[in-house]
Amino acid sequence: MTEAGETVVRLEGLTKRFGEGDTSILALDDVSFEVRRGEIVALLGLSGSGKSTLLQHIDGLQTATSGGGTVLGTDLAAAGPAELRRLRRRIGFVFQQFHLVGRLTVLENVCQGALGSLRGPRLGLFTYPKAVRERALEGLERVGLADWAFQRADTLSGGQQQRVAVARALMQEPGLLLADEPVASLDPESSGQVMRLLKDIGQQRGLTVLCSLHQVDLALSWADRIVGLRAGRVVLDVPTHGLGRDDIMRLYTDLEEEVVLPASDAVDADAAGAKASDGDEAPTGVSLEEAGRR
Ligand SMILES: Nc1ncnc2c1ncn2[C@@H]1O[C@H](COP(=O)(O)OP(=O)(O)OP(=O)(O)O)[C@@H](O)[C@H]1O
């Protein structure tokens, strides 16, 4: 059982180089940061800055070139394939393209989220234990789609399919929820619904959520904290409280220097999610301008 304030992700000098020699790509360059239980973190950066690669490492899907860290207490560098599989069962992952099985019912898609904890394959909804089906239905109620349980998944809109994918991820009872551009292909209204859902569920369950996004305004209104990547390096790590759009836009334009505030001090994990949305107080610690000049 995790304790409030406990470190869920601790990355230390995580470096990933794809390929070798002149044509190799440094996708992650000495990435170090921590995420504590209950934090809602948005990962921002230009296309190709390393967001997906970083999420894949945290999920134990990629092997680092050097450095590493711990996720839910598992040492990424030391863990063997079986331990990494066990880790992945404790991490929910929501993708841009939903990855539902279109010809199956919505409910069966959600039940599939429990496959990691069941022995053997399942063919058909009624081959899942009743307790699993009931939990899946509760999950669908939670995301507002219980009425759609017996529809084919491919008859739902994109926003609805992503909410099903969230319900499926929750079937794992994850200790950490990762999302890679979960609203990139959705209209603004559906995007807002999905992000609100991720945040509400995170707050209700004290779940840690780390989500890559391209929408700066959404990240500002949604996250407790923003981690910004540029060419594989963390160049921004700030609580969102009091930040403006222009502060973040520097990540995409002129921000070369590292701007790292001690997020562990700035975000009280016990109060994660209790961020005031109406205050205009500047973030504690070093201002972006000061830090950028260092
Ligand atoms: N399997 C791979 N083999 C080779 N290069 C890769 C591989 N995966 C990612 N890269 C490279 O690593 C860099 C980081 O890619 P990544 O997909 O992590 O960026 P991103 O920030 O998620 O981009 P986007 O916002 O477009 O999804 C890019 O230069 C990409 O081309």
233-290: pLDDT as tens digits: 999 999 998 888 888 888 888 656 565 554 444 444 343 333 333 333 333 333 344 4
Q: Is 228 in the pocket of ligand 1 (CB under 6 A)?
A: no
| Atom in ligand 1 nearest the alpha carbon of residue 49 | 21
- Contacts of residue 179, defined as CB under 8 A and 6 or more positions apart, other chains included, come to 93, 94, 95, 198, 209, 210, 211, 212
**CA 46–ligand 1 middle distance (angstroms):** 11
Q: Rounded to the nearest whole angstrom, what is the distance from the C-alpha of residue 281 to the centroid of ligand 1?
A: 36
**Of the given ranges (1-10, 137-146, 153-162, 192-201), which has the lowest mean pLDDT?**
1-10
Least confident of 45-49, 155-159, 188-192: 188-192
**pLDDT by residue (tens digit) across 76-94?**
999 999 999 999 999 999 9
Atom of ligand 1 nearest to the CA of 16: 12
State whether the beta carbon of 114 lies less than 6 angstroms from ligand 1.
Answer: no
List the single range of 33-37, 114-118, 162-166, 169-173 with lowest mean pLDDT: 114-118
274 alpha carbon to ligand 1 midpoint, in Å?
34
25-36 and 225-230 strand pairing: unpaired
Contact (Cβ atoms closer than 8 angstroms) between residue 71 and residue 9: yes
Least confident of 37-51, 120-134, 206-220: 120-134
pLDDT at 255: 57
How many whole angstroms from 28 Cα to the centroid of ligand 1? 9
- Could you tell me the pLDDT band of residue 180, with boundaries at 50, 70 and 90? very high
Domain ranges within the chain, ordered by starting residue: 94-173
Can you tell me the mean pLDDT for 219-240? Answer: 93
DSSP 119-172: SS---SGGGS-HHHHHHHHHHHHHTT-GGGTTSBGGGS-HHHHHHHHHHHHHTT
Distance 53 CA to ligand 1 centre (A): 6
Q: Is 25 in the pocket of ligand 1 (CB under 6 A)?
A: yes
Q: Which atom of ligand 1 is nearest to the CA of 232?
A: 14
Name the residue with the closest Cα to ligand 1, atom 28.
48
Burial of 170 (0-12, 13-18, 19+ CB in 10 A): buried
| Residue 197 pLDDT > 60 | yes
Ligand 1 proximity of 52 Cβ (cutoff 6 Å): yes
What whole-number percentage of the chain has pLDDT above 70?
Answer: 84
Ligand 1 and 47: CB distance under 6 A: yes
Q: What is the pLDDT of residue 288?
A: 42
The DSSP H or E segment spanning 221 is helix 216-222
Kindly indicate the confidence band of residue 144, based on its pLDDT and cuts at 50, 70 and 90: very high
Question: Cβ(31) to ligand 1 under 6 A?
Answer: no
What is the model's pLDDT at position 24? 94
Grouping H, G, I as helix, E, B as strand and the rest as coil, residue 95 is coil
Reduced to 3 states, what is the DSSP secondary structure of residue 48?
coil
Q: Which residues pair with 93 in a beta bridge?
A: 178
The first and second tokens of residue 32, run together, are 């170090």
The H or E element containing residue 203 is: helix 188-205
| Strand pairing report for 66-71 and 7-18 | antiparallel
Q: What is the pLDDT of residues 57-83, one digit of tens each?
A: 999 999 999 999 999 999 999 999 999
Q: Is 50 in the pocket of ligand 1 (CB under 6 A)?
A: yes
